[in-house]
Amino acid sequence: MEYVLADHQYGKAETRLVRIYRDTARHQIRDLNVSTCLRGNFADAYLYGDQAKVLPTDSQKNTAYAFALEHGVTDIETYALALAKHFADDIEPVHAARVEVDEYAWDRVQVAAGDHPHAFVRGSQEVRTATATAEGRGREQRVWILSGLQDLVLLKSTGSEFAGFLQDRYTTLAETHDRVLATSLTARWRHKRTDADWNAINASIRQVLIEQFATVHSLALQQTLWQMGKAVLAAHADIAEIRLSAPNKHHFLVDLSPFGLDNRGEVFHADDRPYGLIQCAVERDDAPPAGPVWDSPNLFAG
Amino acid sequence: MEYVLADHQYGKAETRLVRIYRDTARHQIRDLNVSTCLRGNFADAYLYGDQAKVLPTDSQKNTAYAFALEHGVTDIETYALALAKHFADDIEPVHAARVEVDEYAWDRVQVAAGDHPHAFVRGSQEVRTATATAEGRGREQRVWILSGLQDLVLLKSTGSEFAGFLQDRYTTLAETHDRVLATSLTARWRHKRTDADWNAINASIRQVLIEQFATVHSLALQQTLWQMGKAVLAAHADIAEIRLSAPNKHHFLVDLSPFGLDNRGEVFHADDRPYGLIQCAVERDDAPPAGPVWDSPNLFAG
Amino acid sequence: MEYVLADHQYGKAETRLVRIYRDTARHQIRDLNVSTCLRGNFADAYLYGDQAKVLPTDSQKNTAYAFALEHGVTDIETYALALAKHFADDIEPVHAARVEVDEYAWDRVQVAAGDHPHAFVRGSQEVRTATATAEGRGREQRVWILSGLQDLVLLKSTGSEFAGFLQDRYTTLAETHDRVLATSLTARWRHKRTDADWNAINASIRQVLIEQFATVHSLALQQTLWQMGKAVLAAHADIAEIRLSAPNKHHFLVDLSPFGLDNRGEVFHADDRPYGLIQCAVERDDAPPAGPVWDSPNLFAG
Amino acid sequence: MEYVLADHQYGKAETRLVRIYRDTARHQIRDLNVSTCLRGNFADAYLYGDQAKVLPTDSQKNTAYAFALEHGVTDIETYALALAKHFADDIEPVHAARVEVDEYAWDRVQVAAGDHPHAFVRGSQEVRTATATAEGRGREQRVWILSGLQDLVLLKSTGSEFAGFLQDRYTTLAETHDRVLATSLTARWRHKRTDADWNAINASIRQVLIEQFATVHSLALQQTLWQMGKAVLAAHADIAEIRLSAPNKHHFLVDLSPFGLDNRGEVFHADDRPYGLIQCAVERDDAPPAGPVWDSPNLFAG
């Protein structure tokens, strides 16, 4: 019997990089968190401590910074793809590279004269994400791009029901036909294309998601997610698939009757934990294969 | 020699309360984190475990919920003041009550038809704060109101210097006449009034702070803070004092010269720790006494 | 062209449950965070909002509490397996259930007389984890058990090198033959067995991991991880596979030469971000199939 | 009317510093988070942007590192005091310096042969703290030292009551004579001395706190805190005062009666928020004046 080195990968996580465009007096800013992850022929490093094929994670960090200057960051998809292709093309032991980029939003400060040219205020806590994966090199190379968002916190104060559910021995929940529905959405969508106006496409998809959440009368968070996903595919022919993960952030109606008060959907306790967690993938029936893009980057389930 | 029970206080911290206004189809939402803190004649609880004068923190929580229904939450200052006055007036052993409220921002979802009537998206991570303190009861009662904000993250990509500083044996920092200046501002301002259009005043003060940050050419974060504080007092005759605490969130220019690249203020590393921490209070020379409002609510320095 | 509901699952996340054993005066405590996740025939909930086959997440939470009383929590593996089997066996639309449990450590308070019978102090921040998955029901049912730990923070102040690595255009890192090596280990191991003395096995594996980290002279974190994983398999014939994920928490030697000081490995800056991230799986060549256990529970890569 | 610069201070927060002692093969480790804060004649920096009297926070960070080498870190009190005295003595515009140090615990790894000489595992999440304040310079200088701890998480599974409390209109809480009592203690104690065996004293005080929590039959968290504080003063004549802040981390008994189960203090829900927050100071009646040590380091109440 032998022990086998199975899956393995390594990289540099969470390089916090800010790119300023200052070619004109009206500056622009891209505020990123970049993680690179390489797969390939690194067994000797594990088995024998031999680093000859290991590009230091410090070099990967340097590359992220250098590419931000040389290639710029017009959008995080293009930037992530350039990095992923570079590692797969130029670092011989690398078989596949995965680059994940989070972007934090900044709004331009408004002053009396209008937009300020070089002052910014952090926008929403929502994070825009992109993942580029490149496998192989040169003409054999295949690439995939995911875009996404996380911590998009949505709430509707009516238009949500939950009733007619399965009951078992442990069921005590009352049915409701009017509840608060709130979530902190994480979404990832897989593009068919590898070159596009990513900023415009993603802004449009975000708006579709929000509008569906708002306007679909919800019989369950499951149904809301399906409608959100389907609407994205319907509006964007170049999206192969979308995956949605939505905690059900419970808002419990507070019983004020002991104080002689009638609380008709007006005062809620926003609970921290536990929360429901509803997830689904919606895809076209003719979607191209996803390759490795949905593999967990942590080797773990969880 | 004797042991003395000196300062003591107790309360309910972080009651997460959401108030929905649904009187018309166009709902409104107030999303709060409420903390109550009582001071008074509670020595017997400490010395003898006698709870006869101790209103349970659970009752304080209930009161926060009930007041949100009965009194509503048109703004957090009025709501906090109502709660503080109630505890000081109606609970006999209470000598002083302090109520702190954080508010989380929600924006209305935009759909094709305009504002959605009952769907919301979380806005900035910035938090609005109010603190109301009531001492004594009835006609002897005195009250103070602080408003504020925290996690207002600001950045300017030029218009900031740091030079001419004191040098000692341990100084290696280079002078700079063009740097990124970024902070996550916490501010608290003390009102002279106890009744006002709090929403309007606070929105105006926030805008003054942001505009000053943007437009003052910064020779140091200290000078920027002073200008921000002074401008608030100049614009609002009813503000007695403002206190500002500003971490200097360092953005270090990345040296790309080893790679033959000239990084002229375009690529930065956003560092997590350590950070400078600059703080000041700006007040009118005729400001009325602050009473207990700046005392630490934790009994601690730190 | 059609839209397809592909992967989907739902459950209750992060039920914070404390089980006290008080059968004798010497109490015992189990402090858990329980997450349940069900897969099965739930398409109607997504497509039509029909909940007839959906067991509410609230009922799942209730089940977690009830099982903690009825079945007890002698160890988290047995408890998780009981829950997973219940959902798969007894809830008709469920095809597979996955139950993840985190456990927080408590030590018994030491007083002059020895162990205190009912007072406890939180131990290390380290978390013990278990995941049980059950597919199918009755005699067709298959089950898998993972155990693990996370946030096991380890540091060695010498006995670690990093040299002989691949160099590219972006490499500036200096080789070192004596550095601080620190990590916050996450590990998951897959058992062949579904019934065992889990507490003893896991304590033993944890000790093997720590000892290997301490005693292997490290030529790279990769090599250290491989040795750790291999040693676990060598010591425990019933472990099919182990996966390790290790951030390289960088400790940078501070340059004190400007102050005339010679810092020979004595003063370090502990950096927050970025960090290297090294991961690997070590398995027996005759390991039974892993089934779904390593699938991401979030449907996402990331 | 004029605007006045009132309180102001600045410093470097959260310098993450690790000091390794490697004089013998048996290494020792001190893992610190250091924050320095200076008060003095810095008005020109605020009013005019003139930095001539401002020692950069970067220099303060360098000083923290250099002192860790030159003066060492045998305990955090001595190290903090050396830094505070240096800033007050040697930097002319400084009137007072406050240095806060957090220390993270590491245990020595145990291997078959016993203690490992240079491998460590992070201990409890509990943090040890010290604050040194120096005012004035040379023979006029006065100093104060606080020691403390935070995140000491304690739980007792019986021996705790809460009954006989004040009831008002909003009280619904039931009395109980047997509950789980849990807290995450923060404590700070003020020394009379400025030179002592700090490691031994603090370890002893910590043990007194824990033993009192365990052995006092609790009629309320207030009474437990008073007993804890009083016992520290009784055991340590050189402690002038101790302040305690204790969230009441609620553990709610889960009602399992709908499932035909009788939950007699065995299964609890550990709630996140809200929590009670109980605070007190216990001092000797002949305690020397506290000077500025309890002033909030943030200029804020909260």
What pLDDT, in 10s, does the model give residues C39-90? 999 999 999 999 999 999 999 999 999 999 999 999 999 999 999 999 999 9
Q: What is the mean pLDDT of chain B?
A: 96
Return d(Cα A169, Cα C75) in angstroms, integer.
Answer: 25
A277-293 residue pLDDT tens: 999 999 999 999 999 88
Q: Looking at the predicted structure, is the pLDDT value of residue C302 above 50?
A: no
Q: What pLDDT was estimated at residue B135?
A: 97
**Domains of chain D, earliest start first:** 1-140 (3.10.270.10), 152-302 (3.10.270.10)
> If pLDDT is split at 50, 70 and 90, which confidence band does B300 have?
low
Q: Looking at the predicted structure, is the pLDDT value of residue B276 above 70?
A: yes
Q: What pLDDT was estimated at residue D209?
A: 98
Size of interface B-C (CB pairs under 8 A): 9
Q: What is the mean pLDDT of chain C?
A: 96
Average pLDDT over residues B73-79: 98
Helix axes of C221-235 and C198-215: crossing angle, nearest 10 degrees? 140
Q: Looking at the predicted structure, is the pLDDT value of residue B13 above 90?
A: yes
Any idea which residues of B carry the catalytic annotation? 12, 57, 250
Q: Where are the beta strands (DSSP E) in B64-216?
A: 94-111, 114-135, 142-156, 181-191
A259-271 residue pLDDT tens: 999 999 999 999 9
Higher local confidence (pLDDT), D264 or C293: D264
Q: What percent of chain B has pLDDT over 70?
A: 97
Q: What pLDDT was estimated at residue A22?
A: 97
Return d(Cα C18, Cα B183) in angstroms, integer.
Answer: 41
Q: Does C274 touch chain B (CB under 8 A)?
A: no
Q: What is the DSSP letter of D139?
A: G
Helices vs strands, H then E, count in chain B: 5, 10
Q: Looking at the predicted structure, is the pLDDT value of residue D299 above 80?
A: no
Any idea which residues of C carry the catalytic annotation? 12, 57, 250
Return d(Cα D36, Cα D135) in angstroms, integer.
Answer: 14
Q: Does the bond joining B274 to the residue before it have cis omega, within 30 degrees of 0?
A: yes
Average pLDDT over residues A15-19: 98
Average pLDDT over residues A132-146: 97
Q: Looking at the predicted structure, is the pLDDT value of residue B210 above 80?
A: yes
Q: What pLDDT was estimated at residue D300?
A: 63
A206-238 residue pLDDT tens: 999 999 999 999 999 999 999 999 999 999 999
Average pLDDT over residues C101-118: 97
Cβ-nearest to A171 among C56, C279, C300 = C56
3-state secondary structure of D152: strand
Residue B228 half-sphere exposure toward CB, CA atoms < 13 A: 31
3-state secondary structure of B81: helix
Q: What pLDDT was estimated at residue C295?
A: 79
Q: What pLDDT was estimated at residue D302?
A: 46
> If pLDDT is split at 50, 70 and 90, which confidence band does D294 have?
confident
Q: Looking at the predicted structure, is the pLDDT value of residue A117 above 50?
A: yes
Q: Which of D259, D261, D268, D275 to mutate to test the interface with A (most CBs of A within 10 A)?
A: D259
Q: Does D160 touch chain B (CB under 8 A)?
A: no
Q: Looking at the predicted structure, is the pLDDT value of residue C297 above 80?
A: no
Helix axes of A198-215 and A221-235: crossing angle, nearest 10 degrees? 140
ipTM of the complex: 0.96
> If pLDDT is split at 50, 70 and 90, which confidence band does A298 have?
low
Size of interface C-D (CB pairs under 8 A): 194
Return d(Cα D66, Cα B170) in angstroms, integer.
Answer: 8
Helices vs strands, H then E, count in chain A: 5, 10
Contact in structure between D177 and D167 (CB atoms under 8 Å): no
3-state secondary structure of B206: helix
Q: Looking at the predicted structure, is the pLDDT value of residue B1 above 80?
A: no
Which pair of tokens denotes residue C90?
């007894």
Nearest to D124 by CA among C78, B173, C145, C153: C153
The alpha carbon torsion through B43, B46, B52, B54 (nearest 10 deg) reads: 80
Q: Do A109 and B210 touch (CB under 8 A)?
A: yes
End-to-end Cα spacing for chain C:
29
Helix axes of D76-90 and D198-215: crossing angle, nearest 10 degrees? 130
Return d(Cα B239, Cα A277) in angstroms, integer.
Answer: 46
Q: What percent of chain C has pLDDT over 70?
A: 97
Chain D residue whose CA is closest to A173: D258
D127-160 residue pLDDT tens: 999 999 999 999 999 999 999 999 999 999 999 9
CA distances for A273 relative to B192, C24, D29, D253, D275, angstroms: 40, 31, 37, 16, 14
Q: What pLDDT was estimated at residue B162?
A: 97
Q: Looking at the predicted structure, is the pLDDT value of residue C288 above 60?
A: yes
> If pLDDT is split at 50, 70 and 90, which confidence band does A294 have?
confident
A57 in catalytic set: yes
Return d(Cα A60, Cα A15) in angstroms, integer.
Answer: 10
In chain B, residues with a C-beta closer than 8 Å to the C-beta of C259 are 169-170
Q: Does A237 touch chain C (CB under 8 A)?
A: no
Q: What pLDDT was estimated at residue D158?
A: 98
Average pLDDT over residues B173-191: 97
Q: Where are the beta strands (DSSP E) in B22-78?
A: 28-40
For chain C, list the contacting chains (3+ Cβ pairs, <8 Å): A, B, D
End-to-end Cα spacing for chain D:
29
Q: What is the mean pLDDT of chain A?
A: 96
In chain C, residues with a C-beta closer than 8 Å to the C-beta of A57 are 248, 274, 276-277
Q: What pLDDT was estimated at residue A300?
A: 64
**In sequence order, what are the beta bridge partners of D218?**
D160
Q: What pLDDT was estimated at residue A295?
A: 79
